[in-house]
Amino acid sequence: MSWLDDTDDDEPEFDEADIRMRPNPKANRPRTKRRPAHADARIARVLGVDRGRYTVLIDEDGPEEHTALATRARELRKKPIVTGDRARVVGDASGDDGTLARIVGIEDRTSLLRRSADDTDQVERIIVANADQMLIVVAAADPEPRPRLVDRYLIAALDAGIRPLLVVTKTDLADPASFLRHFEGVDDLEVFTSGHGHMPVEEIGRHLVGHSTVFVGHSGVGKSTLVNALVPTALRATGHVNEVTGRGRHTSSSTVSLRYVGETGRGWVIDTPGVRSFGLGHVDPANILRAFSDLAEVAEECPRGCTHLPDAPDCAMIEAVAEGRLGDRGAARLDSLQRLLQTFAA
Ligand SMILES: Nc1nc2c(ncn2[C@@H]2O[C@H](COP(=O)(O)OP(=O)(O)OP(=O)(O)O)[C@@H](O)[C@H]2O)c(=O)[nH]1
Ligand SMILES: [Mg+2]
Ligand SMILES: [Zn+2]
């Protein structure tokens, strides 16, 4: 299936042997002695993850703010640690060459954005923790915009308690008007358009201040292009991170947090690798309708327990579409919704 092609930065299986071979004396310390509460732990923001190594921001907003590289403590076992997590860190967090701090715990998360391999798969991949906004990036052309992928992102965002925003890029290549009509009735969805020569840097920037915003979308839609326009130091910052990990400068091969600095304040931008599909196996089906707020109001008139599927008797949405009460796009919107509901009804 297509999801296999994703360039995810899923956590690699952590290899304990890998640690023991490193010339790090701390790694060989008997673990039982390190089990206690770690009263000396500091809280650090996880900026990125690469092959079992975490880049963390120590003393965020403090006088000694700096990045350090960390590994995970064995006692965490397979507990996922992702970009955006607030990690409890012990050991050498100086960030000096060759040092490796240790993550011994994760603070409670305010949100968790997940996707599954496909809709029936309960195995989930965690994309980012603690984001409160999702900027869904879709290109007007090259690649062709896919309304159904956007629907899926909307559902995932609403399910995770994350506020969705939408930007259509490459408007220099095609007119996004007909694509955007799909989302006209969606409540409170802030929509931006962007193209070569007219990137809405200030407009989007205003929405980033005070928030942690994850940029999602199909590969090649221009997520990193936007990130670089919004965060001029993005390349430098990733350059630094990758210097340590010895990887090339590909912001898009893994999920990375970058600080947005605007005139009115700061925020966090999380650039993610493109995906081809976005499974919703973990989502509460009740949250699907919420992504279709244009239809949800009509659904209130549906009989109790209405499935809203094509064979549902007296479905108010089906009737409204038949009577043309939901506008030109009504039928297409209902079709999108029914496809999603069908996936879950299966
Ligand atoms: N014509 C046009 N090209 C654009 C625009 N925005 C981005 N591009 C081009 O689209 C290509 C892909 O952009 P990226 O920013 O790498 O896309 P991405 O979403 O980060 O892709 P992944 O990292 O693979 O997920 C690049 O060649 C960009 O120059 C735009 O507004 N107009
Ligand atoms: Mg990218
Ligand atoms: Zn119904």
145-197 per-position pLDDT tens digit: 998 899 999 999 988 999 999 999 999 999 999 999 888 878 789 999 999 98
* Residue 38 near residue 105 (C-beta atoms within 8 A): yes
* Ligand 1 atom 24 nearest Cα: 219
Instruction: Specify whether the CB–CB gap between 314 and 304 falls below 8 A.
Output: no
Q: What is the pLDDT of residue 268?
A: 97
Give yes or no for residue 175 CB within 6 A of ligand 1.
no
Selected residue with higher pLDDT from 343 and 26: 343
Does residue 274 have its Cβ closer than 6 Å to ligand 1?
yes
Answer yes or no: is the C-beta of 5 below 6 A from any ligand 1 atom: no
Q: Which of 109-123, 261-275, 314-328 has the lowest mean pLDDT?
A: 109-123
Task: Work out the pLDDT band at 37, boundaries 50, 70, 90.
Answer: low
Q: Which domains does the chain have, with CATH numbers?
A: 42-106 (2.40.50.140), 112-271 (3.40.50.300), 286-345 (no CATH)
Is the pLDDT at 241 greater than 60? The verdict is: no
Whether 202 shows a pLDDT value over 90: the answer reads yes
Confidence at 36, pLDDT banded by 50, 70, 90: low
Q: How far apart are CA 1 and CA 219, in angstroms?
A: 16
Rounded to the nearest angstrom, the distance between the alpha carbon of 221 and the centre of ligand 1 is: 5
The count of C-alpha atoms lying within 13 angstroms of the C-alpha of 79, restricted to the half-sphere facing its C-beta, is 15
Residues within 5 Å of ion ligand 2 by Cβ?
Answer: 223-224, 252
- Of residues 330 and 111, which shows the higher confidence score? 111
170 CA distance to ligand 1 centroid (A)?
8
pTM: 0.81
**Mean pLDDT for the chain overall:** 83
Interval 89-116: pLDDT, tens: 999 999 999 999 999 999 999 999 998 8
SS3 47: strand
* β-bridge mates for residue 191, sequence order: 166
